[in-house]
Amino acid sequence: DTGVSQDPRHKITKRGQNVTFRCDPISEHNRLYWYRQTLGQGPEFLTYFQNEAQLEKSRLLSDRFSAERPKGSFSTLEIQRTEQGDSAMYLCASSLAGGSVDEQYFGPGTRLTVT
């Protein structure tokens, strides 16, 4: 399967702990996006990379959140000192800038539960 993959699929953590999620985009895609989705809502944009450069961060992304894409391939999203309000599905998507159709390909998501 050459789609977008995310790891882990589920994470349960205690409040105050740090967590890190990984996203592997489609290999030739140069753009990578992180979104957060809570129950009954659509995905909310968090941040985006073009190659290894992080070009935009949402105001939703507090200082406890950091994302990297060190070699322009996979990306990690870290949440420090987790809070119960961080419980959500974290979705990664990738796309090819300059392609004929600008659709984004989403991974299956990482569901985070903070207890």
Q: Under the rule (CB under 8 A), what is the footprint of another protein?
A: 4, 31, 33, 35, 40-45, 48, 55-56, 91, 93, 95, 97, 101-109, 111
Q: How far is the CB of 8 from another protein (least distance, A)?
A: 14
Closer residue to another protein in complex, CB, 56/78 = 56
Q: Among the residues of 11-86, which ranges form H helices?
A: none
- CA gap 64, 52 in Å, rounded: 20
Nearer to another protein, 14 or 40 (CB): 40
Q: Please state the closest distance from residue 75 (CB atom) to another protein, in A.
A: 15
CA distances from 102 to 46, 49, 98, 111 (A): 18, 15, 8, 26
Tokens describing residue 42: 């659509």
